[in-house]
Each structure stands twice: as C-alpha cells, then as structure tokens.
Amino acid sequence: MTFDSRLLPYLLLAPQVAVTLVFFIWPAAQAVWQSVHLQDAFGIRSEFVWFENFEHVLTDPNYLDTLKVTVVFSVAVTVLSMGTALLLAVLADSKIKGARAYKTLLIWPYALAPAVAAVLWMFIFNPDIGSFGRALRALGYDWDYRLNGGQALWMVIMAASWKQVAYNFIFFLAGLQAIPRSVMEAASIDGAGPVRRFLTITFPLLSPTTFFLLVVDMVYAFFETFGTIHALTQGGPGKATETLIFRVYHDGVVNNDLGGSSAQSVILMVIVIALTAVQFRFIERKVHYA
Amino acid sequence: MATVEIRDVRKSYGPVDAIKGIDIAIRDGEFLVLLGPSGCGKSTLLRMVAGLEGITGGEIAIGGRVVNTLEPKDRDIAMVFQNYALYPHMTVFDNMAYGLKIRGIPKAEIRARVDKAAEILELGRFLDRRPSQLSGGQRQRVAMGRAIVREPAAFLFDEPLSNLDAKLRTQMRVEIKRLQDRLRITSLYVTHDQVEAMTLADRILVMNHGVAEQIGTPLEVYQRPASLFVAGFIGSPPMNVLDGRIDDRGEAVLVPGGQRLPLPQPRPTDAGRPVKLGIRPEHMAVAAEGFSIEIELVEALGADTVVYGRLPDGETLLVRMAGIPTVRERDRMTVAPQADALHLFDAVSGRRME
Ligand SMILES: Nc1ncnc2c1ncn2[C@@H]1O[C@H](COP(=O)(O)OP(=O)(O)O)[C@@H](O)[C@H]1O
Ligand SMILES: [Mg+2]
C-alpha cells in the first residue's frame, strides 16, 4: 500500500489542526466576537457596541485590583516553583543515594488533577480538619484562609507552585544532566568552589531551560491555575485570590456578563502574547544556546 | 615547578580494584606518560592526582605536600581533558582567564598572560569567539591555553589528542613537545597511543590492569621490555612471540620446527627451561639459514614493508624490511633474527629474563 506523498503530511497534521481549530481558534474567535457585542439578559439578541465592553472592564477599579492580585500571584508562583525545582534538580543531579526514587516522587505531583491536588492541600491547611491548619491554631496562630485574604493568597500560591515544581524539575534536571561533567570538573580545577561553579557555569548553561520555563510558568500561572483556585478559595475571601482568569469565569458564567467576560479574555490573551513576545525578544538575546 | 610523588596508590570501586598499588616519583619538569590499553586505569590514576577521584589507599604528594585530602582547586594543577571541557558560554579569552580571575590576579596581568599564551598557540585572532565557533584543533589549543596561563605546579593531560584526526594529532603532538621544551613544567600525560608516548615522554609508565608493568625511558621500554605485555604493546607491528626452550647447555634457544638460535651470552643456570622468545619484526632479516616461512601477506607502507609469514607449525611470523617489497605473497623465504635482538621471557610469569 502506498500513500500519495503530497497528501500524507496533511493527513498526519489533520488531527492536530482539527483539535486546534475546535478547541482554540473557534472559542478564541467567539471570544473576540462576543467582546464587541452586548447581549440581552436572555441571550437571544446581541448588539454591536464597539469597545464599550473593554471600556467598562478597564475603568472598573475592581478589575485593577484583580490585575494586581494576578501579578503578585503569577510572579510568586513562577519564582517559587522555578526556584524550588532548580534547588531540587541540583540536589538530584549530584550523586545522592536513592536518587531514582527521589526523582520519581518529585514527578508525581504533575500527574495529579488540579482539583485533586487542591483537596489534598485542603486536608493539610483546613483550620478545622487539616493537619497543618490545626497545628497552627494549636500554636496560637490565628490561621483561617477562609477569612484572611493574605493567608488565602499565600495558600493558593503554594498550591499552584507545588504542582508546577514537578514540571520545572524535569526540565531543570534534563538541563543539568546535559552539562558535561568534565566542564564542571575543569571549573573546580580552575579554582571555583560549588557556589561559584553554580553561578558562573551551571546557571548560564541552564539559561535556555530557564527561559523556556519562565514563559511556560507565566502562562501556567495566568491560565492553568483556575482549577486550583476554584477548588481552594473560589477567588475569596472577598476578591483576595481572584486572578484575571478566575474573574473571566466568574463574570461570564456566574454573573452571565458574556460581553465583559469576553473582553477580559481578549485582554488576557493579549497580555500573554505580549509577555511571550517580550520574553523572546529581550531575554533570548542574552541566552546562550550552548 | 614541582615534583609529583605517587606512593603505593590504590583505587577500588566497590569490589573492583581499578588501581592496585602504583609507585612513581615524577621529577621536577619531567614529562611522564601513562601508557596502556583502554580500561587499564590511566584516567583513574590521573584523576586521583587531580583530586577529582578519591584515593582508596596510598599517598600523592605534589611539590612535597601530601594532597590526598585537598580539593582540586587547592592542588595547583591544570588539566587538559579529552573532550576539552571548555566553558561553552564564554569567549576564548574568558575561558583562559577564568581560573586567573578566581585567583584574584590583577586584570592587566591576566590580559598579559592570556595574550602571551594566545600568541604561543596562535589563538590571537580567536580570543573573542565562543568554543562552538572553533574547529576541533582550535578548541584543543584553547584547552592547552587555559592550562598554560595558570602556570601551575603540574600539568595533567587525559588523552588530549584522541579526538583529533590523524594529521592534526601529529601536528599537536609536535606542538606539545615544543611547549614542553619551552615551559618545562612537570607533566602527567595519559594516552593509549604508543607513538605519542615514545615521542613525548621523558619516561613512560606502562600500565596494565591497574599495575605498572614497567617504568622507563622510551628507549628502555622499547629495547628492554620488562614483560610480554610491554613487549606486545610497544612497537608496531608488535613483537613476534614464540614458545621455546633453552638447550641443555644453556647456549641457545630451541624453537618448534627445530630451529636453534644461539644466545648472545650463555645462561647455564637456565638450561632446559621453557621460555617465551620475543623477536621484533624489524630485527629479522633474510638469511641463508633460519625460519622458513610461507608468505601470506605483504604490506607495502612505502618506506618499509611488513611481511606476514607462516611457520611450518602454523604460527605467524612478522618481518619488517626496509624499502619497497622484493617478495610476493605465496613465495617462501628464510629469515633469521639478529643475534643480539632476542628477548627472553619466563614462560609462566611473562616477566623478562635478565
Ligand atoms: N566511577 C566508576 N565506577 C566503577 N568503575 C569505574 C569507574 N571509573 C572507572 N571504573 C573502572 O576502572 C577501570 C579503569 O578505568 P579508567 O581509569 O577510565 O581506564 P582508562 O582511562 O585507562 O581507559 C575500568 O575497568 C573502569 O570500568
Ligand atoms: Mg581514560
């Protein structure tokens, strides 16, 4: 059996293209369409309103608060998950006993659904039933993330970072293992101690990996942490843990403001595209693809 | 400038003994080559001197100071790796300057030292390049430069030329020799290439299975190999080895086929003893009487010719003759060794019989 060789590449690409069309391009186009329309309460008629939805969104002080929460949340999640993953990867890369079991354990969280992970966190941090939560209260610390916005934000940052550590870890470990051992040995003979070796050799050689993960983690923090926040705090208390993506859901699905929600989605998309573009343009130049 | 002393040094990886007790004192400015087949423990020994590998037993001293527990950075050595191990994200200049910066040497002096090394190694034009923008030979030079600028007590080389093609390897070999004549820094040089060993070494340590088979100058090792292993490893094509027996009066060696080869000096005490007889192919010549061989293969190398002959009992005998071939395959010829070119080895231990 033979294939027409000109057709085959298209055939092989087709499923991927179809998935992209159905699950990304089509909803994205819909979001753009919705963002410039106003729907009546019954969802029957809609009216073209130019950029009115955007105007509403961007002049809403609540929205700017959400933006602030999102920036804090995303930067914290990115820094925390990358920092932790790098530390763990460095430890795993050095010759330690039981390194294999350790690596497997570290990779597990990635296989966990966000909601399941969130439930686990609840079992730990719930002030009434969570082990750590109860311990904190027993020590006299007034721990209740359901009332304290700062504590709630701290907890969702922890939970979201924890899940991403596994992903970052795999990439950092692969990056570390791609650095020839002899290069590190040459540095130690040249007189560099462990800290200097890390700062002047390891870290620069990891920069392609770091850069890649920076983009991936920012996008993760912006978009993929919805499940975690939804399961843990529903954006509360108040709006203390409401990120942009959570607000899109809340305004669109709960408050049924499709136009406003779509405008927010479009803004979010633009932010992420811009972030990625900026990272590629300005950081890539300083990155050494060894 | 320093001596390097290795005293009964051992290395075990779990139950495996990679180095089984090696003793050698390398003199100040001496170029010592560690020569041996792959897996015999050369790199392990070198890495123990560098401090990259722990020492299981014995003592290593550099410049009179025992370094067993010192970190590599405190041993004042520089090393050239087989894969060069350059810092891929640094320019050639920074690669060479890295160790100097760490040691807090003033900028102007770093500049001067790197420039000087670059001039010696003809790297001046490449100082701003990254290793990935260099050829294999140039990278090799940068690795050498990085070692030179440090002006260390000792150089360690781990098969530095084995990733180069044959022509470059010859060129770099000559260059290393020149450098060594100029700098006279104590060096340990690991290789499995006997030509490198013969041409570069002040002394060669021939290693096999983690022990030193012989330590000597290149000529000593060639002329008086201490064991069958050394005899087989040094010289190309390798030495012929035949089973033999010293005759009852201790005046000649008898080999299968009835040949009787008189010994240069009689050995009455060894009369009747079974031996291994070594004869280098280049010490055989056409003769009226001697080994009668049937020629199986003739290799014309240009300057000389290697003849692969078969003895009546089936053993192969190699003969190396100057010039272009004068014989053809399937011819018969008779060859005999030069009288003073017989090497006798104990039939059991393989050690040389003096
Ligand atoms: N890290 C190690 N663990 C176990 N065995 C090793 C290790 N490094 C080397 N060896 C063993 O030690 C012996 C000597 O190795 P090496 O010094 O690299 O040989 P060479 O450099 O002469 O080729 C080999 O048999 C090798 O398998
Ligand atoms: Mg080796």
Q: What is the DSSP letter of B281?
A: G
Going by alpha carbons, the residue nearest to atom 14 of ligand 1 is B41
Instruction: Report the predicted TM-score, pTM, of the whole model to 2 decimal places.
Output: 0.82
Lowest-confidence segment of A86-100, B61-75, B219-233 by average pLDDT:
A86-100
Going by alpha carbons, the residue nearest to atom 25 of ligand 1 is B39
Q: Which of B10, B13, B46 to mutate to test the pocket of ligand 1 (most atoms within 8 A of CB)?
A: B13
Give, in degrees to the nearest 5, the angle at Cα A238 between A232 and A243.
60
Note the pLDDT tens digit of each residue in B23-36.
999 999 999 999 99
Interface predicted TM-score (ipTM): 0.88
Cβ contacts of B71 on chain A, cutoff 8 Å = 188, 193
Residue B9's pLDDT is what?
95
Q: Nearest C-alpha of chain A: how many angstroms from B167?
A: 26
Among partner residues A186, A192, A200, which is closest to B85 by beta-carbon distance? A186
More confident residue, B329 or B354: B329
> From ligand 1's centre to the CA of B18, what distance in Å?
6
CB-based contact A12:A5 (threshold 8 Å): no
Asked if pLDDT for residue A288 goes beyond 60, the answer is: no
Residue A41's pLDDT is what?
61
A25 contact partners, CB below 8 Å, separation of at least 6 = none
**Angstrom distance (rounded) from CA B60 to CA B72:** 13
State the DSSP H helix or E strand holding residue B16, giving kind and residue range, or none if neither.
strand B16-26
Domains of chain A (ranges; CATH) run: 61-286 (1.10.3720.10)
CB-based contact A171:A209 (threshold 8 Å): yes
Cβ contacts of B132 on chain A, cutoff 8 Å = 290
Q: How far is CA B295 from CA B66, B197, B284, B321, in A?
A: 57, 32, 14, 13
Ligand 1 neighbour B207 (Cβ under 6 A): no
Residue B212's pLDDT is what?
95
Q: What six digits make up the tokens of B142?
A: 């940068």
Q: What six digits make up the tokens of A67?
A: 């933006």
Mean pLDDT for B190-212 is 95
Mean pLDDT taken over chain B: 92
> From ligand 2's centre to the CA of B55, what distance in Å?
17
Note the pLDDT tens digit of each residue in A160-206.
898 888 889 889 988 898 899 999 999 999 999 999 999 999 999 99
Mean pLDDT for A143-156 is 83
**Angstrom distance (rounded) from CA B92 to CA A151:** 51
Q: What six digits make up the tokens of B51?
A: 């401090």
Residue B96's pLDDT is what?
95
Residue A151's pLDDT is what?
85
**Angstrom distance (rounded) from CA B199 to CA B178:** 11
CB-based contact B123:B145 (threshold 8 Å): yes
Q: Which of B11, B12, B16, B45 to mutate to test the pocket of ligand 1 (most atoms within 8 A of CB)?
A: B16
Q: What backbone torsions phi and psi does residue B192 show, to the nearest 5 degrees?
A: -110, 5
**Angstrom distance (rounded) from CA B45 to CA A272:** 55
Q: What is the DSSP letter of B325?
A: -
Counting one residue from chain A and one from chain B, the pairs whose CB atoms sit within 8 A come to 64
Grouping H, G, I as helix, E, B as strand and the rest as coil, residue A41 is: coil
User: Which atom of ligand 1 is closest in space to residue B158's alpha carbon?
Assistant: 21
User: Of the ligands numbered here, which is closest to the C-alpha atom of B35?
Assistant: 1
Mean pLDDT for B141-153 is 93
A3 band by pLDDT with thresholds 50, 70 and 90: low
Q: What six digits make up the tokens of B281?
A: 């192919």
Lowest-confidence segment of A222-226, B30-34, B83-87 by average pLDDT:
A222-226
More confident residue, A280 or A97: A280
Ligand 1 neighbour B43 (Cβ under 6 A): yes
Note the pLDDT tens digit of each residue in B52-75.
999 999 999 999 999 999 999 999
DSSP B83-139: T----TTS-HHHHHHHHHHHTT--HHHHHHHHHHHHHHTT-GGGTTS-GGGS-HHHH
Grouping H, G, I as helix, E, B as strand and the rest as coil, residue A5 is: coil
What is the number of other CB atoms lying within 10 angstroms of the CB of residue B46?
A: 20
Ligand 1 neighbour B41 (Cβ under 6 A): yes
Q: How far is CA A258 from CA A30, A50, A235, in A?
A: 11, 15, 19
DSSP β-bridge partners for residue B306: B299, B320
Q: What six digits make up the tokens of A133?
A: 């939560």
Closest listed residue to residue B162, CA positions, set B248, B43, B10:
B43
Q: How far is CA A159 from CA A34, A114, A213, B195, B283, in A?
A: 33, 9, 18, 63, 80
Q: How far is CA B11 from CA A185, B59, B159, B246, in A?
A: 19, 11, 20, 40
> Left if phi > 0, otherwise alpha if psi is -120 to 50, otherwise beta: which for B342?
beta
Q: CB–CB of B81 and A188 under 8 A?
A: no
User: Which atom of ligand 1 is closest in space to residue B14's alpha carbon?
Assistant: 4
What is the number of other CB atoms lying within 10 angstroms of the CB of residue A26?
A: 11
More confident residue, B210 or A99: B210
Mean pLDDT for A116-142 is 81
Among partner residues B85, B89, B98, which is closest to A205 by beta-carbon distance? B89
Asked if pLDDT for residue A285 goes beyond 70, the answer is: no
DSSP A238-281: TTTT--HHHHHHIIIIIS--HHHHHHHHHHHHHHHHHHHHHIII
Going by alpha carbons, the residue nearest to atom 17 of ligand 1 is B41
More confident residue, B170 or A34: B170
Ligand 1 neighbour B191 (Cβ under 6 A): no
Torsion of CA A152, A158, A159, A160, to 10 degrees: 110
Asked if pLDDT for residue B222 goes beyond 90, the answer is: yes
Query: Sheet containing B316-322: which strands, arranged edge to edge?
Result: B316-322, B304-310, B284-300, B332-337
Mean pLDDT for B134-152 is 92
A290 band by pLDDT with thresholds 50, 70 and 90: very low
Asked if pLDDT for residue A287 goes beyond 60, the answer is: no
Does B87 contact A at CB distance below 8 Å? Answer: yes
Helix B107-120 to helix B136-149 angle, to the nearest 10 degrees? Answer: 140
Q: CB–CB of A189 and B103 under 8 A?
A: no
Lowest-confidence segment of A123-137, B5-19, B179-193 by average pLDDT:
A123-137
pLDDT over 70 percentage in chain B: 100
Q: CB–CB of B78 and A189 under 8 A?
A: yes
DSSP β-bridge partners for residue B22: B9
Does A188 contact B at CB distance below 8 Å? Answer: yes
Q: What is the DSSP letter of A223?
A: I
**Angstrom distance (rounded) from CA A159 to CA A77:** 9
What is the number of other CB atoms lying within 10 angstroms of the CB of residue B133?
A: 12
Q: Which of B35, B44, B190 to mutate to test the pocket of ligand 1 (most atoms within 8 A of CB)?
A: B44
**Length of chain A as a residue count:** 290
More confident residue, A266 or B81: B81
Mean pLDDT for A26-45 is 74
Most confident segment among A25-29, A117-121, B259-263, B298-302: B298-302
Task: Report, in this order, helix, strand and coil percent for chain B, each rounded to 5.
Answer: 30, 35, 35
Does A193 contact B at CB distance below 8 Å? Answer: yes
